[in-house]
Amino acid sequence: MSILIVDDEGGLRRALCAILEDMDFDVLDAENGLRGLELLREHLDRVEAVIVDLNMPVMDGYGFIQHSVQEAPETPIIVLSGVGVVDDALRAMRLGAWDFITKPVYSMDILEHTLRKVLDRARLIKENRAYKENLEKLVRERTAELETTRRQIMQRLSRAAEFKDNETGNHVVRVGEISALVARAMRLPEAEREMLRECAPLHDVGKIGIPDEILLKPGKLDNAEWKVMQLHCLYGCEILGPLISQEEALRSCSDPKAIPSGDNELLGMARVLAMFHHERWDGNGYPFGLQGEAIPLVARIVSVVDVFDALSSERPYKTALPEEQCLEIIHQGAGTQFDPKVVEAFFLVLDEIRAVQTMWRD
């Protein structure tokens, strides 16, 4: 490691070099600020501190300090200032110098003390920065681990619900992947698309609370059974709701505007999808009968995707419909069951949707 001396007085420069070498420092020296800046850039990883005069040709000490503070902010700078020009030294300190020594330098003890002091300060700054960076890295890693665990739990929860009527659980995966494709076609921000990809598989998590004799019943449900089936939206909202109490979770699902509340964005979106994915564009859906754009956009997207994939999938209580018939149902539903813009975006990415269905077929 080296000390850089920048001074236009050759005799003083050589004397300082000799003194510092006796202190076991390597020394670099320059006759003006411009040359000093070149040496600093060339040996940035070696220079521990700089001793710089203020009044020099080509580039003075002030110019050197301004540049070096920008390029090497953690490198200590000690100013050599003539007796009686303390104001100049203070100006240099305001520009970024760390300390100053007056000329002529009569006591080498003062030089050594000042140099050791700024080096100790620089070492502490570097150690604190390294500690902070390491701590921030550990926090990021731990946060990422917690986020990964949370997302894995959400994925497993969605599959637990889907296994009740689809033993492979691939329907929820397809809904997530296709929803992200449609969201991209609608130019939603990437972060929102990725969140939708992860949250969409939870849209039917409330099915966990539906009795098998209703959920898996072949044929049409009667009115009483249909009312029970519709409860899966509320159940999903409750499952993903506050953990304070079941009463609080139920209360939070009674107001459509309060459903996406909470500190966690993922759970907030998942609750929206669980509660609203059966609302219809014409207002004839459930559980609230919301109409048009009053239905959150992400729920409008999942509504189209969920219906299409359900129609084209085989279940214990139904056979899969041909793709042509499924697409016709989606097309005819634009403006009544579905948001027409979502349907339009759906058909824009139809080839990619087919690829997803092939990759994640049951």
Question: Token match 């329907």: residue?
Answer: 171
- Report the alpha-carbon distance of residue 224 to residue 227 in Å, rounded: 5
Q: Output the CA torsion sign for 68, 72, 73, 74.
A: negative
Question: Are 159 and 169 a contacting pair, CB within 8 Å?
Answer: yes
Question: Are 298 and 183 a contacting pair, CB within 8 Å?
Answer: yes
Question: Token match 């929820």: residue?
Answer: 172
> What is the set of active-site residues?
207
Report the run of H or E that residue 229 belongs to, with start and end.
helix 223-239
Question: Are 28 and 47 a contacting pair, CB within 8 Å?
Answer: yes
- Report the alpha-carbon distance of residue 3 to residue 24 in Å, rounded: 10
- Report the alpha-carbon distance of residue 120 to residue 25 in Å, rounded: 15
Where does residue 225 rank: exposed (0-12), middle (13-18), buried (19+ CB within 10 A)? middle
Locate 160 and state its tokens: 């637990």
